[in-house]
Amino acid sequence: MLIDKNISIHLSCQQFECNNFEINDGESTLLFTSSQKSTDVVCPFCGGKVHVYDNSCTTLKDMPIWHNAPLLVEVKHHRYRCHCCNRSFSEDICMKCPRTRITYRAAKWISELLRWHLPINAVHEITGIHWDTIRLIHEEAMAEELDWRKKELQDKDYRPKYLAVDEFAIHKGHSYATCVMDLEQGDVIWVGKGRSKDSFLRFFQETDLGHLADVKAVAMDMNASYNILVEQFLPHAEIVYDRYHMQAQYGKDVLGAVRLAEARNHSSAARELENSITDETPPEQRRALRLQARQQRQLYSRLKKSRWTLLTNGESLSSENEENLNAILNDHSDLALCYAMKEEMCSLFELTDPVIVVNPATFTSGIRKFLIS
C-alpha cells in the first residue's frame, strides 16, 4: 500500500520551492516556500531598498486530483517594507491568478471548460471552485475573445452589411437590454441597457458611423421605434421587419382576435338557442334546439383550445392536430382566410426571387385553397 512517507516530491516555480505535501481528509496540499532575498527586490513605489518585515501564507485552489479530491497550493511568502518611503507590499505569487484565490493553471482549465459551452454550474461541480470565481474567469475569457475578434475584423477592414436589432430580457423580464448583431458573421456587435429608442440611440453614438457605411439592411421588430433611428443614421439601409416578430404580432392581433370573436359568436348562439326554449316548445323541437345548442358549445370550446394549433407552422403539425385545424377552418371562413394569409406571409420570408413575390397567382394560392374548401 502506498503511504505518504513513500512519496517524495520536488517542485519549483520561480522563487518558490516545494519539497513537501500533506493529505488531510482527502484534501492534498502542496507546500511552497519562498527563497527570495530582500536584495533581489526593489520598492515598486520608489525603487528604494527593502527588507522583510513579516511572512505571510496564502492558500490557492488548484485543479483537483480527481472529482471531490481537491488539491491546494499553500504559499509562504514575504512581506517587504521600503527603507526610503516606508511603504509595505507583498511578494508577488507567480502562480496566483489575479483577483482570485486559485492558481493560473486552474483558471486556464476553467477557461477551457467554458469554451466548450459548459454551464457555470457544471464547471463548479467538476472543479469544486466557487461559482463567483468561475463567473469572473468567464467574463475575462469573453472580453479577451471579443478583443481578439475585434482586432481580427479590423485587420481585414471588415464592415457589416446586414444588421439585426432586438431587445432581450435580463432578470426574468424586470429589465431589458438592446442588442445589435451582424447577421452575416453572427457577431453581437453592441449591447446596451434598456429597450427604448434612446437605448438604441447610444449604439449610433458609441459606434464609428464610417464602420456602418456599407450596411444594406437592418432587421427589427415592427413595434419598436428602431426604424426612426435607422432612417436617420443609415438612410441608405433598408428596414426589414423580421419574420418572428411579424408572425407573433399577426398571431396575437389578427388570428387571436378573429378566433375569439368567432368563439363568442358560438357562445351567444348557444345561449340564444337555450333561451328560445319555453314551456310551450313541443318536446321534439326542444330536443332539436338542445342538440343545436350543445353543438354550438362544442364549437366554442374547440375554438378556445385551438390557439397553439393556429399559431404553429402548418408543416410542423401532427396529423391529429392537422385534422383538427382543417375542421376548424372548414367551419369558420373568416378564420380560414386569416390563417391562409398567415401561411402566405410566412412563405414570403422564404422566397429568394423578387419576381415571384409580385406574381398574384402564387400570392393567393394559399388563400384560395382554404376558400374553396
Q: What does the binding site for Zn ion look like in residue numbers (CB under 5 A)?
A: 43, 45-46, 48, 82, 84-85
Residue 51 Cβ vs Zn ion, minimum distance, rounded to whole Å:
11
Give the residue with the Cβ less far from Zn ion, 45 or 244: 45
Residue 38 Cβ vs Zn ion, minimum distance, rounded to whole Å:
13
Give the residue with the Cβ less far from Zn ion, 54 or 147: 54
Give the residue with the Cβ less far from Zn ion, 51 or 216: 51
Give the residue with the Cβ less far from Zn ion, 82 or 258: 82
- C-alpha cell at position 109: 482549465
Residue 47 Cβ vs Zn ion, minimum distance, rounded to whole Å:
7
Question: Between vectors from CA 141 to CA 218 and to CA 171, what angle results, nearest 5°?
Answer: 60
Separation of alpha carbons 204 and 116, rounded Å:
33
Give the residue with the Cβ less far from Zn ion, 84 or 222: 84
Residue 57 Cβ vs Zn ion, minimum distance, rounded to whole Å:
24
Q: In sequence order, what are the residues at sequence separation of 6 or more whose Cβ sits closer than 8 angstroms to the Cβ of residue 200?
A: 165, 178, 180, 192, 224, 226, 229
Q: In sequence order, what are the residues at sequence separation of 6 or more whose Cβ sits closer than 8 angstroms to the Cβ of residue 349?
A: 243
How does DSSP assign 129-189, residue by residue? --HHHHHHHHHHHHHHHHHHHHHHHHHTT---SEEEEEEEEETTTTEEEEEEEETTTTEEE
Residue 236 Cβ vs Zn ion, minimum distance, rounded to whole Å:
60
Separation of alpha carbons 366 and 343, rounded Å:
7
Residue 78 Cβ vs Zn ion, minimum distance, rounded to whole Å:
15
Residue 54 Cβ vs Zn ion, minimum distance, rounded to whole Å:
16
Amino acid at 370: F
First to last CA, the chain: 83
Residue 232 Cβ vs Zn ion, minimum distance, rounded to whole Å:
56
Separation of alpha carbons 347 and 362, rounded Å:
10
Helix segments in the chain, DSSP class H: 104-115, 120-127, 131-155, 197-206, 226-233, 243-250, 256-275, 283-304, 307-311, 319-331, 333-348, 354-357, 360-363, 365-372
Give the residue with the Cβ less far from Zn ion, 84 or 257: 84
Q: Which of these, 86, 78, 72, lies nearest to 25 by C-alpha position?
A: 72
Strands 11-13 and 162-170: unpaired
Give the residue with the Cβ less far from Zn ion, 46 or 191: 46
Instruction: Give the Cβ contact number of residue 103 at 10 Å.
Output: 24
Give the residue with the Cβ less far from Zn ion, 38 or 199: 38
